[in-house]
Amino acid sequence: MSNTCHESMTDEHRRHFTVTPPNLGESKHNPTTAWNCYLRELSKQKKYQEALTVYRHMLRSSFFPNTFTFPVLLKSCALLSLPLTGSQLHAHVIRTGSQPDPYTHSSLISMYSKSSLPHFARKVFDEQSLNLTISYNAMISGYSSNSIFPEAVNIFREMRREMRVSVNSVTMLGLVSGITLPNHLNIGACLHACAFTLGFDSDLSVANSFLTMYVKCGEVEYARQLFDEIPVKDLITWNAMISGYAQNGHARRVLEIYNEMKKVNGVKPDPVTLLGVLCSCANLGAQGIGREVERKIEQFGFHSNSFLMNALINMYARCGNLVRAREVFDCMDEKKKSVVSWTAIIGGYGIHGEGEIAVELFDEMVRSGVRPDRTVFVTVLSACSHAGLTEKGLEYFDEMERKFGLQPGPEHYSCLVDLLGRAGRLKEAMNQIESMKVKPDGAVWGALLGACKIHRNVELAEVAFQHVIELEPTNIGYYVLLSNVYSDAKNLDGILRVRVMMRDRKLRKDPGISYLEYKGKMHLFYSGDTNHPQSKEIYRMLGELENLVKEIHQPDHKCQGRSEEQLTGAGVHSEKLAIAFGLLNTRSGTDITVMKNLRVCVDCHVFIKLVSKIVDRQFIVRDATRFHHFRNGVCSCKDYW
DNA sequence: ATAGGGTTAG
C-alpha cells in the first residue's frame, strides 16, 4: 500500500472501498498523485470496478486526472469490457490536452481493441502525428487479438520503415499471438526466423508465444521441439506445453510432462496447469490421477477457482463417477455456477443416459436465472436423443430461437437430425436438413448416416455418405458406418466398395483400444493383444466366459458388427480382454469401468450384458459417444443396435 | 504495449 495520502479523501469516501485508501495525514505530494497511487494499488489487486468508482469520487472532489491516471482507468475498462465508460474517459483525455501522452495513447488503443472495436483503436492510432513503439505495439496486438492479421502485418511493416521507432520483443508477442490457424503456419515460421535474426528468440516470453503458436497451428511435435530447446523454462512454458497436449488430445503426454514438471525445483503448478491435467484425465478416464489433482486443488487453496471446479465436474462425469461430479457441482457457490458449470453436469447425466435428470437440471438452470448459450443446447439436445426423449428435444430446439433468441447452427441441426433419426423419423430428419438456413456440415449428414445404420436404410445411407464424404473425406468413422450398413443388409459388394475407397485414399481404421485403471495404472488392450503379462489367464477366463454365455444365449443376429472385424482383420476384441482383466483382478462386488476409444461393437455389447448376468457385477463401459451401464443382463442404453 | 485456461453432438 502506498504511503502517500490526501486530506480530502474523507471517511465518506472510504466507506465505499474495500481496500483501505491512503492514510490521512501530512502529505507533501501533489494531491492527484495520492489518488493515482491508490488507483494503481486497486488495479494491482484486480479491483477494476472499484478503481472506476474511485475515479468518480475523485472527479466529484474536484481533482483533475493527469497522465498517470488514465492508463490505469483505461485498463480497467478494457478488462471489464466497458467500452462506453472507456469512450467517456477518451473524451476526458481529449479535454485535458490536444495530444495524449504516449502511455495514455497506447492505453486508449488497447482499450478499444480489447472491447472488440479495432476501428476505433485505429482512429486513435491515426490521430497521433508521431507514434512511438508502445502505440505501434498496442495497435499490432489489437489487430492480432481481433483476428485481423493482415492489418497487424501492415502496421509491423510500417513500423520497420519508420527509423524513429524500434521493434522490441513486445512487438513480436503481439504479432505471434495473432497466428492461431494451421494455414498461418508459414507466416508463423517466417516470423520465428525473423525473431531469431533480431535476437528476440532468447526472450522467454517470446519463446513461449512461439510455442503456443505452434500448438494452435496443430504442430504439437514442433512445439515440443521448441520446448526442449528452451534452457530455462518458467511456469508459462510448462503450462503452454501441457495445455497444448491437452487441447490436441495427447492426454498421456500431458500426464508424462506433468510428472516431469513436478520434479523441477522452483516450479509449482498453478490453476492453469491443473486445468490441463484434469482435462486430460477426463479424456483418458483416469480418475485416479484426477483425484490426486483434486487433492492438490485443496492443498493449494484453488478451491474458489470456478474454471477448476467445472473441469473437476467434467472429469468425474467422464470417468464414470457421476455421484462425485454431482457433489462437486452441488458444493459450488451458487454465484459461481456459470453456464459452463451447468453444461458440465448436464452433459455428465447426458452421457450416462440419464436424460430425465439432464432435462430437469436444464430447466432448473433457466429458473435460476442463468442464460443458456449455444453450447448447453448442444449438450441438452444430445442428452435427449440418447435417452429417447424425442418430443422434449424437439421442444428445446424450438425454444432455442423463440424463447432465447439463439440461432441454431449446424451443431444443433446435427443433434436435431440425431434426435429424429434415432426415433426412426428419417424422412423428417431429411426435411430438416433441406430446410436449413446454414450450410449443413459433416456432422449433420453424419448424424443422418448414423440413424440409417440403426434403422437399416441403405438408400438414404448412401445419400448421406455421399454428402458427408465430400465434407470430411478423411473421417474414417463414416466409412466404417457405411460398411456396417452394408453388412447388416448382407451387401458384400458394398462392403468391398468401401474397403477399396479406403484403400485408395490410404485410410486405415484406427485400432480399437480398451483400457482400465487398476491400482493407479492404466492397462491397455488392443484387439487380439497377447502382450499383457496376464495374457494367458485372460484368455483362459474369456474361454470360460464364452462357454457360459453360449449356454444361455443363442445368437440370433450373427451377422451384425462383423464388418468391423473384416476391416481390421482383428482377433478377440479389446473390450473383452479388458473385461476379463477386470474380473481377474478385482474383488467381487466392485464395479469394473472400461474405456474404449471407438464404439463398443455389437457382439461385445451382447457379450458384456450376458456376463453381467452370470457374474453379478456391474460393468461400466465408456465408448466414443457415451456410457453403458451393464447390470444383471441389462444395459442402460435404450437404442443399441 | 505482454506468452498459458473451463463446457460441445456424430
Q: Is residue A420 part of a domain?
A: yes
User: Do A527 and A602 belong together in one domain?
Assistant: yes
User: Do A526 and A498 belong together in one domain?
Assistant: no
A639: DSSP letter: -
Q: Is residue A266 part of a domain?
A: no
User: Do A502 and A418 belong together in one domain?
Assistant: yes
User: Do A553 and A445 belong together in one domain?
Assistant: no
Rg (CA), chain A: 30
What's the Å distance between residue A349 CA and nucleotide B9 C1'?
A: 14
User: Do A599 and A620 belong together in one domain?
Assistant: yes
A429 touches strand B (CB under 7 A): no
What's the Å distance between residue A317 CA and nucleotide B7 C1'?
A: 12
What's the Å distance between residue A60 CA and nucleotide B9 C1'?
A: 54
Phi, psi dihedral angles at A614 (to 5 degrees): -70, -45
Give the residue from A454, A474, A508 where a domain finishes.
A508
What's the Å distance between residue A468 CA and nucleotide B8 C1'?
A: 20
Q: Is residue A575 part of a domain?
A: yes
A574 Cβ contact partners less than 8 Å away, ≥ 6 residues apart: A512, A513, A514, A525, A526, A527, A529, A596
A209 touches strand B (CB under 7 A): yes
The domain that contains A483 carries what CATH number? 1.25.40.10
pLDDT at A33: 84
Q: Is residue A370 part of a domain?
A: no
Q: Which nucleotide is nearest to A215 (CA to C1')?
A: B4
What's the Å distance between residue A308 CA and nucleotide B1 C1'?
A: 30
Nearest amino-acid residue to B2, taking CA and C1':
A170
Nearest amino-acid residue to B5, taking CA and C1':
A272
What's the Å distance between residue A164 CA and nucleotide B1 C1'?
A: 17
Q: Is residue A424 part of a domain?
A: yes
Number of residues assigned to chain A = 641
pLDDT at A178: 93
C-alpha cell at A608: 458384456
Q: Which of A90, A92, A137 is nearest to A112 (CA)?
A: A90
Q: Which of A245, A255, A190, A252 is nearest to A218 (CA)?
A: A245
Give me the long-range contacts of A499-506 (CB less than 8 A, separation at least 24): A499/A567, A502/A476, A502/A567, A505/A473, A505/A474
User: Do A449 and A517 belong together in one domain?
Assistant: no
A343 touches strand B (CB under 7 A): yes
Q: Is residue A241 part of a domain?
A: no
Give the number of other Cβ atoms within 10 Å of residue A459's Cβ.
8
A76 touches strand B (CB under 7 A): no
User: Do A539 and A503 belong together in one domain?
Assistant: no
User: Do A434 and A540 belong together in one domain?
Assistant: no
A65 touches strand B (CB under 7 A): no
Q: Is the CB of residue A604 less than 8 Å from the CB of residue A573?
A: yes
Q: Which nucleotide is nearest to A269 (CA to C1')?
A: B4
What's the Å distance between residue A466 CA and nucleotide B3 C1'?
A: 44
Give the residue from A461, A486, A508 where a domain finishes.
A508
Nearest amino-acid residue to B7, taking CA and C1':
A340
Q: Is the CB of residue A489 less than 8 Å from the CB of residue A524?
A: no
What's the Å distance between residue A240 CA and nucleotide B5 C1'?
A: 10
pLDDT at A552: 83
Q: Is residue A212 part of a domain?
A: no
User: Do A503 and A523 belong together in one domain?
Assistant: no
Terminal CA-to-CA distance of chain A, rounded, Å?
67
User: Do A471 and A501 belong together in one domain?
Assistant: yes
Give residues 228-257 of chain A lying near strand B (Cβ < 7 A).
234-236, 239-240, 243, 246-247
A378 touches strand B (CB under 7 A): yes
What's the Å distance between residue A295 CA and nucleotide B8 C1'?
A: 28
pLDDT at A556: 54
What's the Å distance between residue A262 CA and nucleotide B2 C1'?
A: 27
The strand pair at A592-596 and A619-622 is best described as parallel
A290 Cβ contact partners less than 8 Å away, ≥ 6 residues apart: A278, A281, A282, A312, A315, A316, A319
User: Do A541 and A615 belong together in one domain?
Assistant: yes
pLDDT at A35: 87
User: Do A520 and A594 belong together in one domain?
Assistant: yes
Question: Strand B: which positions are within 7 A of a protein CB?
Answer: 1-10
- Three-state DSSP state, A231: coil
Give residues 387-416 of chain A lying near strand B (Cβ < 7 A).
411-412, 414-415
Question: What is the C-alpha separation between A552 and A610, in angstroms, rounded?
Answer: 8
A345 touches strand B (CB under 7 A): no
Give the residue from A455, A486, A508 where a domain finishes.
A508
A467 touches strand B (CB under 7 A): no
C-alpha pair distances (Å), A348 with each of A370, A538, A634: 18, 32, 21
Amino acid letter, A242: I
Q: Which nucleotide is nearest to A240 (CA to C1')?
A: B4
pLDDT at A478: 94
Q: How many domains does chain A have?
A: 2
Within a 13 Å sphere around the CA of A376, how many CA atoms are in the beta-carbon half? 24
Q: Is the CB of residue A289 less than 8 Å from the CB of residue A277?
A: yes
Give residues 177-206 of chain A lying near strand B (Cβ < 7 A).
177, 204-205
Per DSSP (E only), the strands in A331-452 are none
Q: Is residue A618 part of a domain?
A: yes
Residues of chain A scoring pLDDT < 70: 1-30, 554-570, 639-641
- Three-state DSSP state, A518: strand
Domain containing residue A469: 409-508
Question: What is the C-alpha separation between A24 and A71, in angstroms, rounded?
Answer: 25
Within a 13 Å sphere around the CA of A403, how many CA atoms are in the beta-carbon half? 13
Amino acid letter, A136: Y
